[in-house]
C-alpha cells in the first residue's frame, strides 16, 4: 500500500494562489467593490454614525483576523483520527465569528473610547487631533482589514478540500509566517499598492 502523501505549505500556497487568481482576477474590480461598500455605509449612517460604524467594523475585522491566525495554528497542529474537511473548518470559523461578534461592542469601547487597547493608539490620537484625517484613516484601515479577512478566509476555503485528502506536513513557525506574509502580499496586490506589469515579448 502506498504511503499517504502529505501536503506542504508550498502545496497549500500554490493551490491558494491559483484559487484566488481565478476567483478575483481584477484588483480594479476588487477596489470598486470596496468603494461601493463604503458608499453604502455613508448613505446608511450619517455623520458620526458613519464613523461609529467604521470603528465597529474595524474592531470586528481586526479581532477576527487575530482569531483566524490562531485558528491556522490549531489546524496545522491538528492530530485527528480522521482527515479534517471543509465542514469541520467552516464550523470552526462560524464559532470564531460568533465569538468575535459577541464582544464587538465592548471591544470598540476599549479601542476607541476608553483607550485601553494599545493596538489602536495611533487611530485614537488621530481621532483626537484631526477629524478629517481620522475619517480617511478609518476608511483605509477598513479597506485593508476587509481584504485581509476575505483572503484569509479564502485560504481556509482551500485548506478544507486539501486536508480532506492529505495531512498537512509538519510546519514550523517560519512556515506559518510565510502563509501570513503571502496573504498580506496578496492583499496589497488587490488594493493596488503593488503593481505587476504584464510580461511581453519583442
Q: Where are the domains of the chain?
A: 9-190
Q: Per the structure block, which three cell numbers stand in for 7?
A: 501536503
Q: Tens of pLDDT along 21-80?
A: 999 888 998 899 999 999 999 999 988 899 999 999 999 999 999 999 988 888 877 655
Residue 3 — very low, low, confident or very high, per pLDDT cuts 50/70/90? Answer: low
For residues 118 and 122, give the distance between their C-alpha atoms in angstroms, rounded to a whole number: 8
pTM of the model: 0.88
Q: Which of 147, 152, 181, 158 is closest to 30 using CA atoms? A: 147
Residue 117 — very low, low, confident or very high, per pLDDT cuts 50/70/90? Answer: low
Which CB contacts under 8 angstroms, 24+ apart, belong to 36-42?
37/146, 38/139, 38/142, 38/143
The per-residue pLDDT for 80 is 55
- Cα 12 to Cα 38, 100, 158, 170, 193, distances in angstroms: 32, 27, 7, 13, 24
- Bridge partner list, 168: 7
Helix (H, G, I), strand (E, B) or coil at 45: coil
The per-residue pLDDT for 2 is 47
For residues 127 and 129, give the distance between their C-alpha atoms in angstroms, rounded to a whole number: 6
Whether the per-residue pLDDT at 4 is higher than 80: the answer is no
For residues 98 and 114, give the distance between their C-alpha atoms in angstroms, rounded to a whole number: 24
What integer is the mean pLDDT of 144-153? Answer: 96
For residues 123 and 138, give the distance between their C-alpha atoms in angstroms, rounded to a whole number: 8
What integer is the mean pLDDT of 161-184? Answer: 84
For residues 190 and 1, give the distance between their C-alpha atoms in angstroms, rounded to a whole number: 44
Phi/psi at 7 (5° precision): -95, 130
The per-residue pLDDT for 78 is 63
DSSP output for 93-123? HHHHHHHHHHTHHHHHIIIIIS---GGGHHH
**High-pLDDT (> 90) share of the chain, %:** 49
Amino acid at each position: 500500500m502506498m504511503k499517504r502523501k502529505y501536503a506542504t505549505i508550498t502545496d497549500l500556497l500554490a493551490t491558494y494562489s491559483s484559487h484566488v487568481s481565478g476567483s478575483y482576477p481584477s484588483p480594479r474590480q476588487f477596489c470598486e467593490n470596496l468603494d461601493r461598500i463604503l458608499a453604502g455605509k455613508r448613505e446608511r449612517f450619517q455623520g458620526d454614525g458613519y464613523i461609529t460604524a467604521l470603528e465597529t467594523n474595524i474592531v470586528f475585522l481586526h479581532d477576527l483576523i487575530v482569531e483566524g491566525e490562531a485558528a491556522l495554528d490549531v489546524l496545522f497542529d491538528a492530530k485527528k483520527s480522521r482527515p479534517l474537511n471543509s465542514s469541520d473548518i467552516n464550523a470552526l470559523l462560524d464559532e470564531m465569528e460568533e465569538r468575535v461578534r459577541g464582544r464587538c461592542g465592548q471591544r470598540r469601547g476599549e479601542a476607541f473610547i476608553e483607550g485601553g487597547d494599545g493596538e489602536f493608539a495611533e487611530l485614537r490620537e488621530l481621532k483626537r487631533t484631526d477629524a478629517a484625517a481620522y475619517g480617511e484613516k478609518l476608511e483605509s484601515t477598513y479597506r485593508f482589514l476587509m481584504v485581509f479577512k476575505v483572503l484569509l478566509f479564502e485560504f481556509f476555503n482551500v485548506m478544507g478540500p486539501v486536508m480532506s485528502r492529505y495531512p498537512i506536513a509538519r510546519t514550523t513557525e517560519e512556515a506559518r509566517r510565510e502563509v501570513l506574509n503571502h496573504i498580506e502580499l496578496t492583499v496589497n496586490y488587490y488594493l493596488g499598492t503593488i503593481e505587476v506589469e504584464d510580461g511581453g515579448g519583442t
